[in-house]
């Protein structure tokens, strides 16, 4: 059951920031993650600040330089079906279409998807784990077959669940925010926080700060992008392993590009080893094999999630073949 909280629905961004700046406030965008977190009692919230009245933060617009601006309150369904996104940034549309279930995509927002709390059955369960202010990461010594193999430093091995953050990071997207100190623009790539920096926060947002828009740069003319997600069941499930790939191509040759993994780490995980293995190379079988092998570099798998190494290799191989 949901605990008690007060509720406010400000009409302006300014008021929103004001309400959020007080302690114990939480943002309600689509509410799909927030209500789950509240039901599971994983955070203390005194006040829910709803963004529902901020109509300006919804919708997709083309920018003058050929990029896109997506309002933070644009729903995941809208992102997955937007013709401009489908055409120019297919990996983002694909990622959005793989999120949760149709109803949750109809309700959840792109901003919310970036800011959602990560997933771990200990963190979301009745365990006073490190991320909730406790002493240990239960998953580390416990049941962790769904957990991270990168970037956890054996501090907290939670996985970041977003299917839109990896494509956005691969596309070099930026988030615009508004906070008590004014506006900021931050790359999606560095938006999330690793456990070694602070295992109790997920993003670099400061108290009172809220995402307003997501900026997508104009894609290179010969950009190929794709998102692929493997999960334990085919709907309503987070990635066991996923990869967003956005490559600037010259024929068969990769000029440059990014590969960002989901289900891999406590944050969306940029696989630079894979990028290095394909940059400047022709995407032939040998390159793809090498790149797939490279994905395992720097991984720190645990006894029950070692399978993810092979799974990521398979995903990278399939993905590179798909954009080839």
Partner 1 sequence: MAEDSNVYYTEGLPVPETPAPGDKPAFWKQTDVVGKRIPRVDAYERVSGTAVYPSDIKLPNMVYGAILRCPHPHAKVKKVDASRAKTMPGVRAVITGVSPKVKGLNWKYRNYTGPLFDSHCRFEGEVVAAVAADTRYQAWDAAHAIEVAYEVLPYVADYKEALSESAPKVHDGGNLAGMDEYERGDISRGFAEADAVLEETYETPCQIHTPMELHGCVANWDGDRLTIWESSQGVYAVQSNVAEVLGIPLSKVRVIGHYMGGGFGSKLKPGKYTVLASLLAKQAARPVKMILTREETYLCVGNRPANTMRLKAGVKSDGTLTAFEFECIGPSGAYPGGGTALVDWLVRDLYKCDNVRCRSKDVYINAGTARPFRAPGHPQGSWALEQMMDALAEKIGMNPVKLRLKNIPAISQGRSEPYTTTGLKACIERGAQQFGWKNALKRAKEQNQSASHIKRGVGMGACVWYVGGGGPPSTVIIKLFRDGSVNLNMGASDIGTGTKTVMALVTAEELGVKPEVIQIEHADTGTTQYATPSGGSKTVPTESPTVRNAAIDVKRQILEMAAEDLDVRTAELDYEGTEIVWRKDKSKRIRVTDVGRLKKRGVVVGVGYRGPNPRTKTVNPFGAQFCEVEVNTKTGEMRVLRFLGAHDSGRVLDRLTYDNQVFGGIVMGIGFGMTEFRQLDGKQTGKLCNRNWHDYKLPTALDVPVDMESLPIEIDDPEANNTGTKGLGEPVTIPTASAIANALYMATGIRFTNAPVSPMGMCRRLAARKEG
Partner 2 sequence: MCSEHRDNEGTGKQGMTRRGFMQIMGTGAVGASLSGAAMAAGSKPEPPAKILDATDTVKINLNINGVNHAVLVEPRWTLLYVLRETIGLTGTKEGCGRGECGACTVLIDDIPRYACMTLAVEAESRRITTVEGLMMGEELGPVQTAFLEEDAFQCGYCTSGQMMAVEGLLRKTLKPSMDKIRRGVSGNLCRCGAYNHIFRAASRAAGLKTK
Interaction site with partner 1 (CB under 8 A) = 1-4, 121-122, 124-127, 138, 141-143, 145-146, 230-237, 240-241, 306-311, 313-315, 317-318
Rank residues 135 and 235 by Cβ distance to partner 2 and give the closer one: 235
**Judged by CB under 8 A, how many residues of this single chain contact partner 2?**
35
C-beta of residue 56 within 8 angstroms of C-beta of residue 189:
no
Round to whole Å and give the CA distance between 176 and 78.
19
* First and final C-alpha spacing in the chain: 49
C-beta of residue 26 within 8 angstroms of C-beta of residue 2:
no
Strand, coil or helix: 64: coil
C-beta of 319: minimal distance to partner 1 in Å?
A: 10
DSSP 8-state class, residue 131: G
Half-sphere exposure in the Cβ direction for 145 (13 Å, CA): 4
Decide: is 101 part of the binding site for partner 2 (CB under 8 A): yes
Decide: is 252 part of the binding site for partner 2 (CB under 8 A): no
C-beta of 121: minimal distance to partner 1 in Å?
A: 4
Site for partner 2, residues 51 to 70, rule: CB under 8 A: 52-53
C-beta of 50: minimal distance to partner 2 in Å?
A: 6
Q: Which does 237 bind (CB under 5 to 8 A by kind): partner 2, partner 1, none?
A: partner 1
C-beta of residue 318 within 8 angstroms of C-beta of residue 228:
yes
C-beta of 205: minimal distance to partner 2 in Å?
A: 22
Q: Which does 308 bind (CB under 5 to 8 A by kind): partner 1, partner 2, none?
A: partner 1
C-beta of 232: minimal distance to partner 2 in Å?
A: 14
Q: Which does 221 bind (CB under 5 to 8 A by kind): partner 2, partner 1, none?
A: none
Contacts for 293 with CB less than 8 Å, ≥ 6 apart: 277, 313
Q: Which does 153 bind (CB under 5 to 8 A by kind): partner 1, partner 2, none?
A: none
C-beta of residue 154 within 8 angstroms of C-beta of residue 220:
no
Rank residues 80 and 164 by Cβ distance to partner 2 and give the closer one: 80
Q: Which of 117, 131, 157, 165 is nearest to 269 (CA)?
A: 165
Q: Helix 307-323 and helix 285-294: axis angle, to 10°?
A: 150
C-beta of 100: minimal distance to partner 2 in Å?
A: 8
Round to whole Å and give the CA distance between 109 and 57.
10
Q: Which does 47 bind (CB under 5 to 8 A by kind): partner 1, partner 2, none?
A: partner 2
Strand, coil or helix: 249: strand
Interface ranges with partner 2 (CB under 8 A): 1-11, 19, 28, 31-32, 35-36, 39, 46-48, 50, 52-53, 77, 100-104, 106-107, 234-236
């Amino acid at each position: 059951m949901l605990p008690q909280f007060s509720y406010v629905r400000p009409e302006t961004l300014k008021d929103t920031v004001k309400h959020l700046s007080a302690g114990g406030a939480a943002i309600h965008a689509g509410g799909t993650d927030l209500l789950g977190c509240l039901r599971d009692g994983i955070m203390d919230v005194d006040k829910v600040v709803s963004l529902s009245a901020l109509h300006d933060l919804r919708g997709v617009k083309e920018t003058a330089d050929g990029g896109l601006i997506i309002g933070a309150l644009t729903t995941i369904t809208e992102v997955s079906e937007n013709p401009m996104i489908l055409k120019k940034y297919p990996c983002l549309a694909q990622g959005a279409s793989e999120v949760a279930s149709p109803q949750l995509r109809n309700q959840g927002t792109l901003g919310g998807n970036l800011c959602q709390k990560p997933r771990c059955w200990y963190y979301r369960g009745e365990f006073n784990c490190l991320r909730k202010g406790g002493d240990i990461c239960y998953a580390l010594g416990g049941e962790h077959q769904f957990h991270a193999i990168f970037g956890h430093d054996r501090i907290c091995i939670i996985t970041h669940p977003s299917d839109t953050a990896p494509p956005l990071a691969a596309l070099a997207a930026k988030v615009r925010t508004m906070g008590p100190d004014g506006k900021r623009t931050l790359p999606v790539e560095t938006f999330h926080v690793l456990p070694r920096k602070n295992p109790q926060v997920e993003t670099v947002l400061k108290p009172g700060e809220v995402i307003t828009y997501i900026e997508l740069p104009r894609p290179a003319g010969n950009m190929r992008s794709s998102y692929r997600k493997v999960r334990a069941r085919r709907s309503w499930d987070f990635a066991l392993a996923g990869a967003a790939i956005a490559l600037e191509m010259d024929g068969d040759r990769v000029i440059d590009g990014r590969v960002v993994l989901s289900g891999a780490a406590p944050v969306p995980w940029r696989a630079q080893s894979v990028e290095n293995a394909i940059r400047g190379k022709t995407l032939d079988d040998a390159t793809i094999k090498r790149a797939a092998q490279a994905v395992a570099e720097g991984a720190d798998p645990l006894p029950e999630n070692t399978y993810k190494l092979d799974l990521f290799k398979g995903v990278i191989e399939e993905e590179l073949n798909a954009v080839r």
